Amino acid sequence: MLLEIPGKDAATAGGRSGSIDDEDLLLLLVSLLTLTVFAGLFVLRSLDDNRLTSWQWVFDGTDLRLVFLSLVVGVFFAQAFSRATLRWSNPAIWLFVSSFAVAGFFWRLPEVNIDASRYFLQAKSLEQFGVGYFFEEWGGDIGAWTDLPLVPFLYGLVLSLFGEVRTAIQAFTTLLFSGTVVLTYLIGRTLWNETVGCCAAVLLLGMPYLLTQVPLMLSDVPAMFFLTLAVYATIGAIRHGGAGFLVLAPAAITLAMLSKYSNWMLLSVVPVIFLTHLDLGLKVLVRRAAVVSLGAGLLAGGLILGMHDVVAEQLTLLRSYQLPALSRWGEGHISTFFIQLHPFIAVAAAVSMLVAAKKRDYRYVIVCWMLLLLLALGAERIRYLLVAFPMLALMAGYAVAEIGNARVRRHVVACTLAAMLVTAVFAYLPFLQGTSAVNLQQAGEHLDTLASEHVEVFALPQTRTAVNPAIAVPILDIYTDKTIALHPDAEMTARPESVETSPVRFTWDYDSARYYAARDGESGDEATVVVVSANSGQALPERLKRRIAGHRLSGEFAATDRVFRYKTIVKVYQPLQRRPEMARVVNGGDVMR
């Protein structure tokens, strides 16, 4: 990368006398607008109904002066950046490295979504019993719920290669995220030009909610990557042909189909890509489209047919349970597009539709298709829209690229990025680190410091939610190398009637207990005992009281929040025979030894 900062003479070359004053005014206007928009969003934060990172919660207790000062500094650097002339020798490499570094900053987040428990158990099955067992028992002994096998399979391979190390999973998901950023750039460059691609790729980083999902052991980021790869590969196969693209496109479409069911519907963009390239000539188009379609049909069809019983059962569950529940799990579009992303992105995406219509640019339909389809079908929850975020970034980049002044264009993009990175780092990150989900993370790290190799877990009933308490055990297992046994107790695992229509139903349908059945020699007086409860003062069953009678409290992890009903307060007990140590107590981030 070469960096040049031209002076006013260079900027006004070519007879554009006086234009620098207008340029300075526009840069100042964008800067002030960035600060004003942030202040406005803060004032109107009651409109944010996001279920994870609502501004009503993330700024509660936050030092707003520090956040705003950081934003002012960010805007200052954005202005300096906009005045620099950047010549990228290889934009893809710089985008990959920078996006990996930004996302890596969020690896410290705990697993804040209980869905991670089932992905971990599915991956653990492959790690322990091998690839053959994984595919043979998928949907049988390995509970599949509504998941497709690709993402758990990849997670299982990572665990098999590196062990049950969470950072290995986080590095893998971050690689996929950075790959998505690069693919976004490549799609924009292929369909239009370098400017659209670069703007879109950087704007994808200006989505703080997305950054909070990258380190989590879920299917959303991998599904986004494979869907974006399918779009890029199909565009390449149709536009350029060649054996590489014609092989990659069917493979990428298949991978996208095997990563998430919602991708099946969104892959309707493939025929849209065909139709928007009629200018290539009908004979060429039909030949290339036939290769892609036939290859994807045979590859994906064969794999899906091989597990047709599981797929049929899952599709029935999706229709009868998850689809009707979408209306109950929704979040407002104002929250999603104007607060969780950024108003600049939303406005630019809306303007881009007018620009494309005026130009009669049929290629634009490729990038707007997925988002418009999701909105037409009433998908309102941000997690269901996440896979289309690269296309949203391309829509916004398409409009931003229309700004004729390169400095102003760079400043708009840089200010958007600065505003949302400040929000993510100073609001989202500390908020999520302060939830009770961090207790399992800290307890797992504490267990790894203890001498005992065997851990016996008692999961007490939740008092404010219908979540199966046993689901906390796989998440605890993510953070520790110890051998865990879940103590079975019917009193603690009574299935509530209300759970049949609840979004946490999978925690009861998914049998996590059998993965943690105690084996000979893994329990007894020498085992460490862990109690996971909904609150610190929760009453203990008599059987549990007797179990910990010969133990002492080794650590208590009691960080809590006032937002989420599901709580995981963790107490660790060690046998009295071991060398006495002071108990480690963690409560809201304060640590005493």
Instruction: Please tell me the distance from the alpha carbon of residue 515 to that of residue 486, in angstroms, as a whole number.
Output: 9
422-439: average pLDDT: 96
Is the pLDDT at 19 greater than 70? The verdict is: no
Closest-CA residue to 187 (of 403, 370, 401, 363):
363
**Domain ranges within the chain, ordered by starting residue:** 1-9+20-87+408-433, 89-107+163-402, 437-592
> Which pLDDT score, from 0 to 100, does residue 521 have?
54
Distance in angstroms (rounded) separating the CA atoms of residues 212 and 425: 10
Q: Quick one: tokens of 368?
A: 């707007």
Lowest mean pLDDT among 237-246, 282-291, 580-589: 580-589
- pLDDT for 14 equals 41
- Identify the pLDDT of residue 197: 97
Distances from the Cα of 568 to the Cα of 66, 467, 498, angstroms: 30, 11, 21
> Each residue of 141-164: pLDDT tens digit?
898 989 999 999 999 999 999 999
Q: What are 437-454's pLDDT values in tens digits? A: 999 999 999 999 998 899
pLDDT digits (tens, 9 = 90+) for 60-76: 988 899 999 999 999 99
Where b means 16+ CB within 10 Å and e means fewer, 96-135 reads: beebbebbbebeebbbbbbbbbbbbbbbbbbbeeeeeebb
- Residue 257 — pLDDT band, cuts 50, 70, 90? very high
**pLDDT value at residue 590:** 43
pLDDT > 90 in the chain, percent = 73
300-323 pLDDT, tens digit per residue, is 999 999 999 999 999 988 888 776
Residue range 452-508, pLDDT digits in tens: 899 999 999 998 888 999 999 999 999 999 999 988 664 556 777 777 777 788 888
**Residue scoring higher pLDDT (424 or 86):** 424
3-state class of 551 per DSSP? Answer: strand
For helices 343-359 and 406-423, what crossing angle results, to 10°? 140
Question: What digits encode the pLDDT tens for the residues 108-128?
Answer: 999 999 999 999 999 999 999
Mean pLDDT, residues 556-578 = 90
Query: Phi and psi for 368 in degrees, rounded to 5?
Result: -95, -10
What is the spatial distance between Cα 27 and Cα 23, in angstroms, rounded to a whole number?
6
Average model confidence (pLDDT) across the chain: 89
Two tokens, residue 255? 């991978």
Cβ-contact 354, 368 below 8 angstroms = no
Quick one: pLDDT band at residue 9, thresholds 50, 70, 90?
very low
Question: How much is the average pLDDT of 240-261?
Answer: 96
- Residue 376 corresponds to which tokens in the numbers above? 């037409």
d(CA 185, CA 390): 9
- What single-letter DSSP state applies at residue 535? S
| 503-527 confidence digits (pLDDT tens) | 788 888 877 777 888 765 556 668 8
Averaged pLDDT, 352-376: 96
Q: 10 pLDDT band (50/70/90 cuts)?
A: very low
* Predicted local distance difference test score (pLDDT) of residue 589: 44
Q: Is the pLDDT of residue 294 over 90?
A: yes
What is the reported pLDDT for 325?
61
Q: Do the strands 454-459 and 483-486 form a parallel or antiparallel pair, or are they unpaired?
A: parallel
Question: Lowest-pLDDT range, 1-5, 365-369, 417-421, 484-488?
Answer: 1-5
Among 74-83, 197-206, 353-362, where is mean pLDDT lowest?
Answer: 74-83
Nearest to residue 197, comparing CAs of 228, 166, 175?
228
Q: Which segment of 13-27, 369-383, 553-567 scores lowest on mean pLDDT? A: 13-27
